[in-house]
Amino acid sequence: MEILRVEHLHKYYGGRGNVTKAVDDISFSVEKGEFLGVMGASGSGKTTLLNCISTIDTATSGSIFVGGQDVTQMRGKKLAAFRRSQLGFVFQDFNLLDTLTARENVALALTILRTPAREIDVRVQNVAAELGIAEVLEKYPYQLSGGQKQRVACARAIVTNPQMVLADEPTGALDSKSARMLLHSLQTMVQVMEATILMVTHDAFTASYCDRILFIKDGRIFSELVKGEQSRKEFFARIIEVVTLLGGESADVL
Amino acid sequence: MCCKLAFRNVRRSLKDYFVYFLTLTFGVCIFYVFGSMDAQQAMDSPVQSSIFAMLIQIMDVLSVFVSIVLGFLVLYANTFLIKRRKKELGVYALLGMPKGKVNLIFLLETAVVGALSLACGLGLGVAASQAVSLLTAQVFEVKLDTFHFVFSPVAAGKTILYFAIIFVVVMALGSVSISRQKLIDLLSAQKKNQRFRAKKLWHAVVLFLLSVALIGTAYGMFIKNGMRVLGNEIPVIMAIGGVGTLLFFMSLSGFLLRICKSNRRLYYNKLNMFVLRQLNSKINTTYLSVTFICLMLLLAVGALSFGIGVADSMQSELEVCTRYDVSLYNGSANDSGRPVLELLGEHGYDLDDYLERSVSFAYHDTGIRKSDLLAGCYEGEDIPGVNVTIDAVSQSDYNALMELSGQPTVDLSQGEYGVVALSGDAQKAVKRYLATERSLTLAGETLTAYRGGYLTGSLETSTGTGASGDVVFVLPDRVAAAIPSIRGTVSGFYAGDKEETEKEFFAFINQVGGEIEAGSEVRIYGATAEMVYQIALGSKVTFLYIGIYLGIVFLLASAAILALQQLSEAADNNQRYRLLRKLGTDDGMVRGAVFSQVALYFFIPLALALVHSAVFFYVMQDALTSLGVQNIWPSTLWTLGIVLAIYGAYFVLTYFGARRMATETSLATK
C-alpha cells in the first residue's frame, strides 16, 4: 500500500531573478512498511524536501499525498491536526522537552492528540519496552545519554501510530555506537511495529540501514538504490560508490 | 555611528522595550502628579492652606521613598534587558567593537528610552494632574469659577532630577555588568539559561503543607490577638507569615504537579503536564521574586483600601463634633474654671457681635480615671486614653446646652448622675457599665446611676470628641458646685450669615487671642464647626492620596516585574513552543498553555495577597470602625477595581506578548 506519493514537487526560494530551486521537480513514492533513506550533501535540498512533506514548509508547486490526502492543499488548523495524527518526527538534536521526564515526553505526543488518559500509560509503556527505554522513563533528558534521548524521541514519534515517521539526520549528534543502536531501533520500528520511515541523512553508514535510498543533488533526484537481497555491507559499498559519483561530478564541474 | 545604531536598536527592539517604557512612563506620571500638589488651586481658608501644606510635606517624604522603589524597578528591568540582548552585544564584541563602544551603545539606548519615557510621563502627568486638581477642589468644596491650567515647575524639575539620578545609577551598574561579561558567555547566553535540575516532588508536598500550616498559624495568632497585643507579637506573626508565604511559592508548583500527577485525566489533558512542568522548572529562580511581588501586592491592596476606606468615612463622628458653630474654652494652666467670656470681657471684648445664642459653662474635675471607672467594660483589654480623668457638667448646664442645640434634655431624679458617651466605642462600654447597679461617691455624696441609660448630648465643637474625652458625667447642680471647675467653655451659634461671620470671627479670635495670651499664662483654645469639617476633609484627602500613591506604585512595580519576567521567559520558551507546534499541537492549545502559564504567575500571588489582606482587614475591623469606616464594601470594590485595571492591563499585555512569541515565529526557519 502506498503511504506517500510526491508528484512534481517544486520549492523555490527568493524571487525576481534570484531564484534558488531548493527542490526542483521531485517525484517518488513510499510503500507502507518501507524504510526510505534520502541522501545528499548539505544544500542539496533534502531538508527542504522533508520540511515540505512534514508540512512545516509549504511547497511552491506539486503535490504530496500522504495516505491519500494531498497535504499541499491543507491550511492552518488542518495542518497541525495532520501533523499530530499522521506523522511522527525525529530530529537531529533530539528536541526533547528538558523540563519533562522521558515518559512525559513520549506521552506528550498522545496528549496533544487528546488521547484518553487511561490509554496513555499503557501505550507509552509498550513502545518504551519495544525500544529498550523502559528503565529510563522516569528520568529527565539531562540524565540520559544521547542514544537514549534519541530513542525516547523515536518512541514519541511512533507512539501515536502515525502513517509515517520523518527522521532528520537522527544520528547526526550521536557517537558511532549509539548511532548503531538507534538504527537498530529504527529497524525494529519498521519490522516489528510496522512503521514507515523516511530518513534524511548525509552519512553513508546510516543510510545503509535503509531499504531504499534516493540520492538528491541540487534539488533533483540523482539516483536511486534498492537494497533488495544484498547484505548491509554490500549495500554500504554501493552507497559509497554513488556518493563518490555525486561528489566526483561536482569536481568535474570545477 | 553609535548614536545611529542605538536609535535603530531601540526602534527594532521596541517590543522588548515596550513594557519597560510603559512602566517608566507611568512611574514618572504618578511621581509628577503627587509631587505637584503645590501647584493646586489656591485654597479658600487658612485652615485648608495649612492642611494642604502638610499634605505637600508628606508627599515630599513619600516621593523619596517612591523614587527608591522605582529606582529598583528600573534597575531590575534594565538587568532583564541586558540579559535578553547578551547575544547581540556579544556579536558586536565578536566583530571587534571595543567594549567601551558596546557599552556606549547600550548606554545610549537606555538614555533614549529613559528620555522618551520621561517626556511622555511628564506630559501624561501634567494632564493627569489637572484631573487630580479638580478632584481635590471638589473634595475641599472649593468652587472653581474658571478652569486653571495647573503646572508645577518644581515638581517637574524634581521628577527630572530624580529620574536622571535613577538612570545614571542604572546605566553605570549596567555598563559594569556588561564589561564584566566574557565574550563566550555573551554568545552562548541563550543556552546557559536553559540549564535545569529536577527536585524531588515529595519535598514540595511536605514544604507546601508546612507553608499552609505556617500561614494558618500566623492568621490564627493575628485573629486571636487582634491589634491589642501588637507590640511584641506583630514581628513574630509577620515573620511566620512571611516565611509561610515564601515556602508557599517555593513548593506550590511541585505540590500542584504532585496532585495533578495522581489524577491522570487532569495530568494528561491537553498541555497541563507541560504547563506544570514549565512552572516547576522555573520556580527555583522565581520563587523569591514572586514572594516579593505577593508582599508588594499586599502593601498595594492595603494602602489602597485603607486610603479609600478612610476617605469614604468619618461622617458620623463629625456630626457629634460639630453640633455648635463654635466653641471656645479656657485652657490656662491655672484657674481655668473662669469662663472664657469673662476673660475676654476683662480685655474689653465680647462675643455678642458674633454669637447670636450661646451657653457659657464649665467642666468639673471629678478626678475619677476613665480606666478605673470603665475597667472591664471595653471589648479589648486596654482602654483608650488610660490616664484620662472623667469630667462632669452640672445638670442645668447640660440642659441649657441641649436646649441651645436642640438635643434632648435629661431629668435626673434626686441623687442620680448621668453618663454622656459620645463615641461608638464609649457608648458600648458605658452601656455595659450601666448594666449593673453602679453608685458613685462625689463630694461626700453617694449618687446612683440615671436609669435612662447613657446620654448622647454633645457639649462643644472640637476636633476630636472634645478635650474632655468621649465620656462625661452629668451631676446634680449641688454636687457639681462642690467640685472645682476647670475649662470654662462657651458653645454657641453665629449671628447673621454663617460664612461671613465665620471669617470675621476667625480673624477676630486670632488677633484677640494673641493679644490676651501675650505675656500671660492665659490660653484660649477652641474650634469652629467649619474648621473641624475642613480638618476632617483634609485628613481624608491626605489618607486618600497617600493610599493611592503608594498603592499604585507598588501595584505598578509588582505588575511590571511579573511582566518582564514572563516576557523574558516566553522568549526562553520559544524553542519549546516551536517543538510543540512542529509536533502538530493546535495553536489554540499552545495559546491555552501560554495563558495558563502567564495567568498562574500573575494571579496566584494576587490571590494570596488578597487573602492576606482580607485577614488583615478582618482583624483591623475595630480599628477601622474607630476611624469611622462603617462600610468596607465601597473601598473594597474601588481597590479591586484599581488593582484589576492596572494589574489586569499588564496581564493582558504580557499574555499577548508571550502569545505572539510562542505562536508567530515561522516553523521552517531554524
Contact A107 B273 (CB under 8 A): yes
> Is the model's pLDDT at B469 over the cut of 70?
no
Q: Are residues B117 and B1 in the same domain?
A: yes
Contact B264 A97 (CB under 8 A): no
Q: Are residues B65 and B211 in the same domain?
A: no
Q: Are residues B220 and B169 in the same domain?
A: no
For helices A102-111 and B272-311, angle between their N-to-C axes, nearest 10 degrees: 80
Domain boundaries, chain A: 2-253
Total domains present in chain B: 3
Q: How far is CA B556 from CA A48, B19, B386, B602, in A?
A: 47, 11, 42, 13
- Quick one: pLDDT at residue B598? 94
Of A227, A168, A149, A161, the residue nearest A195 (C-alpha): A161
User: At which of B533, B555, B572 does a domain end?
Assistant: B533
B265 shares contact with chain A (CB less than 8 Å)? yes
A121 shares contact with chain B (CB less than 8 Å)? yes
Other Cβ atoms closer than 10 A to B173: 14
Contact A43, A50 (CB under 8 A): no
pTM for the full model?
A: 0.83
Give every residue of chain A whose pLDDT is below 50, as ranges. Answer: 251-254
| Residues B426, B418: Cα–Cα separation, whole Å | 14
Contact A108 B583 (CB under 8 A): yes
Contact A57 B582 (CB under 8 A): no
> Is the model's pLDDT at B193 over the cut of 50?
no
- Closest partner residue to A109 (CB to CB) among B197, B278, B583 is B583
| CA Rg value for chain B | 33
C-alpha cell at B455: 446620654
SS3 B418: strand
- Quick one: pLDDT at residue B216? 93
Q: Are residues B346 and B454 in the same domain?
A: yes
Q: Per-residue confidence at B381, pLDDT binned at 50, 70, 90?
A: low
Q: Are residues B410 and B519 in the same domain?
A: yes
Helix (H), strand (E) counts: chain A? 8, 10
Contact B317, B427 (CB under 8 A): no
- Quick one: pLDDT at residue B384? 60
- Quick one: pLDDT at residue B214? 94
> What angle (nearest 5°) sits at the alpha carbon of residue B623, between those of residues B619 and B625?
105
Q: Which residues of A touch B586 (CB under 8 A)?
A: 77, 80-81, 112
- Residue pointed to by grid coordinates 552507497: A239
- Closest partner residue to A112 (CB to CB) among B267, B583, B668 is B583
Give A11's Cβ-side CA count (13 Å radius).
Answer: 27
Give B542's Cβ-side CA count (13 Å radius).
Answer: 20
Contact B140, B537 (CB under 8 A): yes
| Residues B588, B125: Cα–Cα separation, whole Å | 40
Q: Are residues B337 and B458 in the same domain?
A: yes
- Closest partner residue to A80 (CB to CB) among B267, B280, B585 is B585
Per residue in B234-261, pLDDT (tens digit) is 788 889 999 999 999 989 888 888 888 8
Contact A110 B268 (CB under 8 A): yes
> Is the model's pLDDT at B215 over the cut of 90?
yes
Contact A118 B264 (CB under 8 A): yes
Q: What is the mean pLDDT of residues B372-384?
A: 68
> Is the model's pLDDT at B583 over the cut of 50?
yes
- Quick one: pLDDT at residue B316? 58
Measure in Å the smallest separation between the Cα of A250 and chain B Cα atoms: 27
B519 shares contact with chain A (CB less than 8 Å)? no
Q: What is the mean pLDDT of residues B622-635?
A: 71
Residues in chain B: 670
Interface mutation target, options B583, B664, B670, chain A, most CBs of A under 10 Å? B583
Interface mutation target, options A108, A119, A122, chain B, most CBs of B under 10 Å? A108
Q: Which residues of B touch A94 (CB under 8 A)?
A: none
Residue B565's domain comprises: 202-322+538-670
Q: Are residues B554 and B647 in the same domain?
A: yes
Q: Mean of the per-residue pLDDT values for chain B? A: 82
Return the minimum-mean-pLDDT range out of A88-97, A227-236, B105-114, B136-145: B136-145
Tell whether domain A2-253 is in CATH 3.40.50.720: no
SS3 A238: helix
B579 shares contact with chain A (CB less than 8 Å)? yes
Q: Are residues B179 and B220 in the same domain?
A: no
Per residue in B480-507, pLDDT (tens digit) is 888 888 888 888 888 878 777 888 887 7
User: At which of B503, B533, B563 does a domain end?
Assistant: B533
Interface mutation target, options A99, A136, A139, A169, chain B, most CBs of B under 10 Å? A99
Beta bridge partners of B357: B493
Measure in Å the smallest separation between the Cα of B316 and chain A Cα atoms: 60
Strands A164-168 and A20-31: unpaired
**Residue A209 buriedness (CB in 10 A; 0-12 / 13-18 / 19+):** buried
Q: How far is CA B96 from CA B92, B102, B371, B393, in A?
A: 7, 10, 81, 91
- Quick one: pLDDT at residue A63? 93
- Closest partner residue to B583 (CB to CB) among A84, A120, A121 is A84
Q: What is the mean pLDDT of residues B647-651?
A: 94
Per residue in B340-354, pLDDT (tens digit) is 777 777 777 777 778
- Residue pointed to by grid coordinates 507512539: A159
> What angle (nearest 5°) sits at the alpha carbon of residue B535, between those of residues B530 and B538?
125
Q: Which residues of A touch B590 (CB under 8 A)?
A: none
Measure in Å the smallest separation between the Cα of A248 and chain B Cα atoms: 30
B196 shares contact with chain A (CB less than 8 Å)? yes
For helices B2-12 and B14-35, angle between their N-to-C axes, nearest 10 degrees: 90
User: Which of A43-47, B10-14, B82-86, B609-613 is modeled with the greatest confidence?
Assistant: B609-613
- CB pairs A-B closer than 8 Å: 88
C-alpha cell at B357: 445664642
Measure in Å the smallest separation between the Cα of B273 and chain A Cα atoms: 8
Q: Are residues B365 and B489 in the same domain?
A: yes
Q: What is the mean pLDDT of residues B61-87?
A: 85
Contact A56 B270 (CB under 8 A): no
- Quick one: pLDDT at residue A246? 80
B271 shares contact with chain A (CB less than 8 Å)? yes
Contact B582 A56 (CB under 8 A): yes
Contact A80 B277 (CB under 8 A): no
Per residue in B10-59, pLDDT (tens digit) is 787 777 778 888 888 999 999 999 888 877 765 666 777 777 788 888 88
Measure in Å the smallest separation between the Cα of A232 and chain B Cα atoms: 32
- Quick one: pLDDT at residue A253? 41
B582 shares contact with chain A (CB less than 8 Å)? yes
Q: Are residues B629 and B590 in the same domain?
A: yes
A75 shares contact with chain B (CB less than 8 Å)? no
B112 shares contact with chain A (CB less than 8 Å)? no
Contact B584 A83 (CB under 8 A): yes
Beta bridge partners of B489: B329, B361
Contact B354, B503 (CB under 8 A): no
C-alpha cell at B588: 489554540
Q: Are residues B378 and B278 in the same domain?
A: no
Q: Which residues of A touch B580 (CB under 8 A)?
A: 108, 112
Q: Are residues B330 and B431 in the same domain?
A: yes
User: At which of B143, B174, B193 does a domain end?
Assistant: B193
Q: Give me the DSSP letters along B132-165.
A: HHHHHHHHTT---SS------HHHHHHHHHHHHH
Contact B639, B646 (CB under 8 A): no
Interface predicted TM-score of the whole assembly (ipTM), two decimals: 0.90
